[in-house]
Amino acid sequence: MRTLHVISLLASLAAFPAASLAQAPNTLLIIADDFGADALGVYGLASNPAPTPNIDALAATGVRFENAYACPTCSPTRACLLTGRYGFQTGVGFPLGQGQGGLAASEILLPEALAPAGVTTALMGKWHLGTDMGPSTPTAEGFDVFTGTLGGAVPNYSQWLKVENQMASMSTAYVTTDTIDESLTFISQTSTPWFVQVSLHVPHTPYHAPPANLHTQNLAGLDPNVDTIAFYRAMVESMDTELGRLLASIPAATLANTNIVFVGDNGTANGGVQPPFNPQRSKSTVYQNGIRVPLIFKGPAVSGPPRVEPGLAHVVDLFATLAAMQGVATTPEHGVDLTPLLQAGGQPGPREFVFTEQFTGATPMTSANDQEVILDGRFTYLRFVRPNGTIRQRLFDLNSDPLQLTNIVNQPLSTIATEAYRNLRRELARLRGYSWHAMFGNGCSGGGISPVLDALASPTPGANYTLRTTGLSGLELATVGGIGFTDQMWNGVSLPVDLTSAGFTGCTLYIDPVLTFVATPVATTSSWTVALPNSAALIGQALYAQAFPLLVGANPAGILATNAVVGVVGN
């Protein structure tokens, strides 16, 4: 299966010395279920988080990402992590139910990418990426070993259907303890470099009292269906206790050669949400508390002092990052390699934006439950589909409004908010292939006119892209239109550029014009048209335009400048 990909990986490893293979590091990936950043005390977000001394110790001795994100629910996050592709490409946008197929056979999963490097791979715990091949699904998808559950939540933590050796049978072991036991067994029996994905079920529902030796919470007289936060805290503490046992039981030499990655699969479920957060904006939503998760790295891939990394990260980045930790280079479609951020020296973050989504239909953003978000670290832009198909949008400034209480999208925006609003919508359109355009910047006035540029429609392949200038007087000699591919630099100078010193009084250059057009004014308007090739390769290309009416006496240069327009070529 996927022969060409495997051959290419083998070729890249042909010169890899056999001696160094034995010294290659291991990777221990720990995924907590329904455990957002607010639930971990070191993030300082919630009012009374559960004690987690072992996870805290990882953070205190490694690199903790302050701004890491996942999908709003389980299956989409796991699909992103294992493929390096977003859900709108894999088709996994919502938790998969019993009997549903998961990832397509054409998807290259992380264990398949690691196999040519001689890495033995195991998944212990929760799979939740489809059951189309029955109990053998995870191993058929590339893992060498799988022991755990195929579906989502277990109905009872002490009575659940366990898959082992591709056979299913009932287990009465406490599921968290069993997952750790199986992980330790695999590690003790594996002599080659290994990758172990420890996919915990905890602290996912059903809320319950874990074994007494795993937590210190007083649950006497409490009802798990009513006092959910108390039981959630106990479950979190039990998770931390078992993770402490896992790390303490791995031989010291093996642990020293193991990269440990701890991450949550989505935001905290509403039953575990504490003040000041809103339970209705937690798991299953694209608000911050539904997608912001803990992400911690420790091990030989980390250098320099323990620290907090402010750069943006997403679980889709873990495909390339975990592969790089094992010495395997990959070219994921959407994720980026985060390992430079783990090195001493303050490497700049590779991400400018984070995107995540949730959708229930076969095609993203077509049903009433669909939602998506893109953020830059300060501003976050959310899109929701209404039942009638219309789009609802929200914009929040996380610096001044971290709880996302005030939607500023329809308020007068500051200059920085206006720019962020445009950039976020542009990047979302580019990523998703939407056809979109918007005006930005300000034109200048002169000679009694204030010209304005706009596009008649958003650009699409094989169609005419027409830009029109209005507000003219009919006295202009002509209007020169420019179109280019950036609003960042012009002739080595950062844009925008004040043109006043060149005689364009009060005018600004916003774009780098690569192509120019001359249009003759008709009454109070002028327009020019660009015929776009009918090529899918244009999808996602951003086009920037600005117009320059020539009017004698309007200013010393006799040339005015309009605002600018950005358009993204899409379907």
Q: Please spell the DSSP secondary structure of 419-456, one letter per residue.
A: HHHHHHHHHHHHHHT--EEEEES----BTTB--EEEES
Residue whose entry in the numeric block shows the structure tokens 């896992």: 246
Give strand ranges (E) for 299-378: 307-314, 354-358, 371-375
Classified as helix, coil or strand, 79 is helix
Task: Identify whether the C-beta of residue 44 lies closer than 8 Å to the C-beta of residue 95.
Answer: no
**Where do you find CATH 3.40.720.10 in the chain?**
3-342
- Residue 8 is predicted with a pLDDT of 37
- Residue 347 is predicted with a pLDDT of 74
Classified as helix, coil or strand, 163 is strand
Q: Which residue type sits at 363?
A: T
pLDDT in tens, 166-213: 999 999 999 999 999 999 999 999 999 999 999 999 999 999 999 999
pLDDT in tens, 55-91: 999 999 999 999 999 999 999 999 999 999 999 999 9
- Residue 89 is predicted with a pLDDT of 94
- Residue 205 is predicted with a pLDDT of 97
Enumerate residue ranges in the chain where pLDDT < 50.
Answer: 1-22
- Residue 381 is predicted with a pLDDT of 98
**Where do you find CATH 2.20.130.20 in the chain?**
437-568
- Residue 366 is predicted with a pLDDT of 66
The CATH number that domain 437-568 falls under is 2.20.130.20
> Which CATH number is correct for 3-342, 3.30.160.620, 3.40.720.10, 3.40.1190.20, 3.40.50.700?
3.40.720.10
> Which CATH number is correct for 371-431, 1.10.1760, 1.10.3210, 3.30.1120, 3.40.50?
3.30.1120
- Residue 367 is predicted with a pLDDT of 66
